[in-house]
């Protein structure tokens, strides 16, 4: 812009066309495209605040400074930041893997014998098992999906908590009634003693 103030004739730095009158400046389309591509590239990398912090699960595939995991895969088993998770969304081989919220205790969700994810609950043996265990060791046992068993146990726990709360309310009520009766006994006992002392 200062160029117009210093010279009568100016030229475009890109196309070298010369101008003697001041034109309205337009957007540099080539530079704008470069900027858009640069912005997209920058956004595809996780920003600074996605570095792993206290209490976060770290990405198992980041080298150097680790990024925070956004998902854990029970099939792999590993935890992934946004960048390293992309193949699970794009690749046909990984699309059917079981993704869960980031979990630092993935080993606890794996069968110790087969290193496969625990997906079944064996009611006969009261244990969590993988699909290999179903075929090899638990044939003929009563089994349900792990999620179904978890929901059932949660329901039972809720009912138990409700029973405990009801019991506490009843005990509190009994305690209040006992205290009230004791207060009444004290008052009537004091009144009787006062009456006896006046007669004597």
pLDDT, tens only, 94-138: 888 888 888 888 888 888 888 888 889 999 999 999 889 999 999
CB distance 11 to 18 below 8 Å: yes
What is the per-residue burial (b if ≥16 Cβ within 10 Å, else e) of 30-50?
Answer: eeeeeeeeeeeeeeeebeeeb
Mean pLDDT value of segment 143-153: 90
pLDDT digits (tens, 9 = 90+) for 23-43: 666 777 887 788 777 766 555
Phi then psi for residue 121, to 5 deg, are -110, 120
Q: Where is pLDDT greater, at 77 or 15?
A: 77
Read off the pLDDT band of 152 (50, 70, 90).
very high
Q: Is the pLDDT of residue 194 over 90?
A: no
Distances (CA, A) of 52 to 37, 48, 104: 27, 10, 12
| Under 8 Å between Cβ of 46 and 67 | yes
Asked if pLDDT for residue 93 goes beyond 60, the answer is: yes
pTM: 0.46
Is the confidence at residue 198, as pLDDT, over 60?
no
Confidence of residue 193 (pLDDT cuts 50, 70, 90): low
**Which of residues 6 and 48 earns the better pLDDT score?**
6
pLDDT above 90 for 179: yes
Which structural domains are found in the chain, ordered by start?
Answer: 2-44 (no CATH), 45-109 (4.10.830)
């Amino acid at each position: 812009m200062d160029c117009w103030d210093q010279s009568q004739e100016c030229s475009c730095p890109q196309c070298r066309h010369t101008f003697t009158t001041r034109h309205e400046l337009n957007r540099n389309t080539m530079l704008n495209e470069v900027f858009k591509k640069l912005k997209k590239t920058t956004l595809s990398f996780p920003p600074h605040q996605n570095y792993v912090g206290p209490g976060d699960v770290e990405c198992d595939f980041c080298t150097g400074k680790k990024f925070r995991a956004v998902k854990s895969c029970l099939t792999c088993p590993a935890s992934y930041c946004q960048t390293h998770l992309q193949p699970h969304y794009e690749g046909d081989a990984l699309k059917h893997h079981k993704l869960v919220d980031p979990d630092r205790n993935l080993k606890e969700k794996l069968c110790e014998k087969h290193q496969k994810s625990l997906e079944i609950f064996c009611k006969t043996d009261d244990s969590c098992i993988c699909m290999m265990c179903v075929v090899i060791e638990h044939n003929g046992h009563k089994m349900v999906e792990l999620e179904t068993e978890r929901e059932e146990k949660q329901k039972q726990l809720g009912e138990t908590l409700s029973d405990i709360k009801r019991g506490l309310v009843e005990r509190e009520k009994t305690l209040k009634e006992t205290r009230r009766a004791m207060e009444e006994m004290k008052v009537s006992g004091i009144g009787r003693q006062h009456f006896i002392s006046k007669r004597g």
